[in-house]
Every structure is written in structure tokens, then in C-alpha cells.
Amino acid sequence: MTLSTIICIGMAGSGKTTFMQRLNSYFRSSKKEVPYVINLDPAVLIVPYGCNIDIRDSIKYNKVMETYGLGPNGAIVTSLNLFSTKIDQVIKLVETKNDKYEHVIIDTPGQIECFVWSASGAIITESFASTFPTVIAYIIDTPRNTNPTTFMSNMLYACSILYKTKLPMIIVFNKTDVKKEDFAREWMTDFEAFQTAIMNDQESNESANGSGYMNSLINSMSLMLEEFYSQLDVVGVSSYTGDGFDSFLKAVDDKVIEYETYYKQERERILREKEAKEKKRKEKSLSGLMKDLGLNDKSSGDSKKQENNNNSEVEVISDIEEDENDGFVEPDIEETTDNEFKSQREYTFPENDRLEGEITDKSYPDLQKRYQAAFESQAKPASSSVAEDIAKYIRQ
């Protein structure tokens, strides 16, 4: 029995919590199955379904706001950050239930950006996706998307989430008891129908849209997303009546197969590439360290062979110290004469014409002039033969 995960994501007011409640009820009544339920919304006051794991049990949203002096969205992000530090324990807990459950359903905060675009949201999603087949359910408020501009905004958001998570996605048009999703399906499959809807919207809201720049932008984006639509599974559901949930679960099963066939292999390939890059980076760092220390990273066989050679290269710092000290006794600095450790610095002026210590502008105010005079006296013009050679080289 394979445990699969459904992560419900959607904008505020799209009906995610109600969708979670109906999905939970549908599993229990129609499928005779009890799902494993996780709530990741720390700010929700009432959850209309039972949770196996509730973020509110371990993190108090109001306390986070008070302690860190945060606003509502900042407190949600911080709560998710705190929760994500223990995500390994959550994954292990879910793994122990693998023989009892078939589905894990996860509710996320209504402020979609707090989960999708935060580091904690990525950590949570990646943790589940790397352990279980994971599907993203993007919930859309169908009545609010009858406007072409709002519809395109939701589609762009769905596109960004798909490429951000790199997981199978299902577009769920919720609240079909209020407005059927047929118009949305038509817009996604028939480009001309969407163009007609844009023109009609422009005529009815000419004063609001002004020069029509927004409609032109939407037209361009719809052309770009035409290929994106063909890769999406679209279902219409009503969380109020329960219609469409059989189609949704069938789409989930198809996406689980798609995950095992394509996404899992792609994710494993990406992980292998990351491991290879990290290994290469560590080797490069170690090689640089060995070079800085003057050590050579040789194989054990080469090292044994070179140990018998008088000119073999040293392998450890202690060898360097021994080789450097062989036959050498460090002199006592106090007993040495000045000539033994005399500086090799070459001065511009003779010793009898030089004050003790460094030569500075204070000791020689005309220092720069004397440098210039010395340079001019030493500089010689290029001979004719040298000039001819240079000219010949240039011509070649």
C-alpha cells in the first residue's frame, strides 16, 4: 500500500478548508478509508475536521505575534518556520502510519504566498515529496473567475506554483454549485473563445480599462500559457454538495502514477546532480587546502612507492617540519652578528648619504626630485637597431 500526499493550496476565500472537510468526509463515507489529516494554518480559529497533526498544538499564533512583534502574515511565516524545524519528526511519524493510511491530506494557510514562497513552505513540500508521492491541488474560486483578467491571474499563479514545486498539479474549480466551471474549461481549450470573452469584457468596462493595455497583456499571456493548459488536469467540485470528488480522486490516482513515472525520476536526477556538485565542491576545497599547506593528495600506493625514494614528496606537516630541520639548528638570534641576517634591501642612495631608518619625505623633503633625477640619468634612448627590430616585428 502506497501512501500518497495531497497538498491543498489556494488563495484566501477559495474554499480550501471546506474542501478539506468534504474530502475527509468523502474518504470516510464513499471510500471507507480514514485519511491522515494535517493542518498547517496556524491562524485558523475553527477547523471543521479532525486533525492527526495540527500546527496549533505546538505553536501559538497569537504568542508568536506578541513575542516577536509581528503582524498577521509575519506571524504565519514565523510559525511555519518554527514548525519546519521539526518536519523530520513529522515525516517519521507519518511513515510509521504507512500500513494504516493510504492518503495524507494537508491544509495550508489562506495567505498563499506565506506558504508557497517561503523557505519553510519549500522545506515542508520537499520533505513530503522526497518521501511520498505528492500531488498539489490548486483550489480556485470559480464564481470569482468569470472575469478574464482574474482567470488569467489565477492561471499565472498556478503556472508559477507548478514550476516552483515541480510536482504534479490538479486545478480544482471549487464552488461549482454556484457557478459551473464549463466556461473555464472552454477558455483553457479554445483560444478564440477566450479572446471573445476579453473583447466583451473590454466593451462592458471600457472606461475602467482605459487604453486596453491590460487586455493586450492578457492576450499575450494567454498565448504563452496555451501549452501550459495542455499539461493540466482540471476538475470541478462543490465542497458544499460533494459533487465532483470522485473525479478529483481519479485525477489524484493518475497523478500518483505520473509522479512515479516522471517526477520521481526527475527529482532523483536533480538530487544526484546536487550530490555530485557538493562532492566536487568539497574535493576542490580540500585540494585547495592541501595546496595551501604544501601537501600532495596522492593515493596510498603511490605514497608507499615514493617513501622508498630519497626525493619523495612529503605527505604530512610533521614530515615537512622534519625535512626542513634535518641538519639545521636554529641559531640564537641574540648571538648572531648583523652581517648574518643583514637585510637584502637595495637602497637608492649610498649608505653614507642615508640617515638611519627608513627614507621618508620628512628626512628628505626633495625625495621625489632626487628619484626623478636618478631615473633620467639611468634612462637611455632606444637605439636605431632596436627601433628597426620593433618596426619589423610590427610589420610582421
Give the per-residue pLDDT at 332. 44
The residue among 42, 44, 57 whose CA lies nearest residue 121 is 42
Q: Who has greater pLDDT, 216 or 394?
A: 216
Give the per-residue pLDDT at 169. 93
Give the per-residue pLDDT at 236. 95
119: helix, strand or coil: helix
CA distance 138 to 118: 17
For residues 200 and 208, the answer to whether their CB atoms sit within 8 Å is no
What is the per-residue pLDDT across 327-338, written as a single tens digit (0 to 9) for each? 434 444 344 444
At residue 187, does pLDDT exceed 60?
yes
Q: How much is the average pLDDT of 29-54? A: 91
Give the per-residue pLDDT at 199. 82
Q: How much is the average pLDDT of 218-236? A: 78
At residue 303, does pLDDT exceed 60?
no
For residues 239 and 141, the answer to whether their CB atoms sit within 8 Å is no
The residue among 252, 174, 261 whose CA lies nearest residue 5 is 252
In the structure, what pLDDT confidence band is assigned to residue 368 with cuts at 50, 70 and 90?
A: low
Give the angle subtended at the CA of 85 by the CAs of 166 and 53, to the nearest 5°. 80
In the structure, what pLDDT confidence band is assigned to residue 63 with cuts at 50, 70 and 90?
A: very high
The residue among 124, 131, 137, 15 whose CA lies nearest residue 79 is 124
Highest mean pLDDT among 106-115, 257-266, 385-394: 106-115
Q: How much is the average pLDDT of 369-380? A: 65
What is the per-residue pLDDT across 83-104, written as a single tens digit (0 to 9) for each? 999 999 999 999 998 888 999 9
What is the per-residue pLDDT across 309-365, written as a single tens digit (0 to 9) for each? 544 444 444 444 444 444 434 444 344 444 444 444 444 444 554 444 445 555 556
The mean pLDDT of the chain is 78
Question: DSSP letter string over 71-100?
Answer: -HHHHHHHHHHHHHTTHHHHHHHHHTTTTT
Rounded to 5 degrees, φ, ψ at 4 are -115, 155
Q: How much is the average pLDDT of 51-69? A: 92
